[in-house]
């Protein structure tokens, strides 16, 4: 497969990722307790719609269609966000989880755009690289704004008392716990080799 085809696959992945975020960001905005976070997510939703349009222009300039690839990575990252939204936590602690989830989505996109821009530049597709750079700049700015907005939220969460009693685990949490132990077990032989 030529680099241009790899790039088109990656771009289709990004296109799917942005479309998935258009559905996920309103849920984060609705779920967040902090007004600044709510506004950031709502503003970024509008930006994301613009990013989808920009990606369509990229595909047009390449003479390709934007669909064809579902982004499993973003689906997983959004799923983690859905978990954060289900958490039975108080205000700032709840929002701290949302911040973690939102930053994951932004950094996933940042990595994707950086890879696509490098490929486009290598191929001499300067117009494509420059359109993608506009999306990248918006993602970087969004991540910075979320990190800044998180500071007072994290401080408030740090002041919240720890719960006296552990809440019983949901079915989903039990499954996640089991899987995490399997992850650890599978890695153990390799880790042992390292220690030896």
Residues that bind Fe ion (CB under 5 A): 48, 51, 109
Nearest residue (CB) to Fe ion, 20 versus 48: 48
Q: Shortest Cβ distance from residue 168 to Fe ion (Å)?
A: 37
Helices 3-31/72-86 angle, 10° precision: 10
Q: Shortest Cβ distance from residue 51 to Fe ion (Å)?
A: 5
How many angstroms separate the CA atoms of 22 and 52, rounded?
9
How many angstroms separate the CA atoms of 104 and 60, rounded?
29
% helix, strand, coil for the chain, step of 5 = 85, 0, 15
Nearest residue (CB) to Fe ion, 85 versus 110: 110
- Residue 67, by phi and psi: left (phi above 0), alpha (psi -120 to 50) or beta? beta
Burial of 46 (0-12, 13-18, 19+ CB in 10 A): exposed
Nearest residue (CB) to Fe ion, 45 versus 62: 45
How many angstroms separate the CA atoms of 104 and 98, rounded?
10
Nearest residue (CB) to Fe ion, 28 versus 157: 28
Residues sharing a CB contact under 8 Å with residue 151, sequence separation 6 or more, in sequence order:
none
Q: Shortest Cβ distance from residue 162 to Fe ion (Å)?
A: 36
Q: Shortest Cβ distance from residue 21 to Fe ion (Å)?
A: 6
Nearest residue (CB) to Fe ion, 48 versus 94: 48
Q: Shortest Cβ distance from residue 109 to Fe ion (Å)?
A: 5
Q: Shortest Cβ distance from residue 59 to Fe ion (Å)?
A: 16
CB 133 within 8 Å of CB 72: no
Nearest residue (CB) to Fe ion, 44 versus 149: 44
């Amino acid at each position: 497969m030529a680099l241009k085809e790899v790039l088109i696959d990656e771009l289709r992945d990004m296109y799917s990722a942005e479309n998935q975020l258009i559905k996920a960001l309103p849920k984060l905005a609705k779920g967040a307790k902090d007004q600044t976070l709510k506004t950031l997510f709502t503003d970024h939703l509008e930006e994301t719609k613009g990013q989808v349009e920009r990606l369509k222009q990229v595909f047009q300039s390449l003479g390709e269609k934007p669909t064809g690839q579902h982004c499993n990575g973003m689906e997983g990252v959004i799923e983690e966000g859905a978990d954060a939204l289900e958490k039975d936590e108080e205000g700032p602690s709840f929002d701290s989880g949302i911040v973690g989830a939102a930053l994951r989505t932004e950094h996933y996109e940042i990595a994707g755009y950086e890879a696509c821009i490098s490929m486009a530049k290598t191929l001499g597709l300067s117009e494509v690289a420059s359109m993608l750079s506009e999306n990248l700049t918006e993602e970087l700015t969004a991540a910075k704004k979320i990190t800044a907005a998180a500071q007072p939220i994290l401080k408030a969460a740090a002041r919240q008392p720890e719960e006296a009693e552990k809440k019983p685990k949901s079915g989903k949490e039990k499954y996640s716990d089991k899987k995490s132990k399997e992850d650890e077990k599978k890695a153990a032989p390799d880790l042992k080799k390292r220690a030896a």
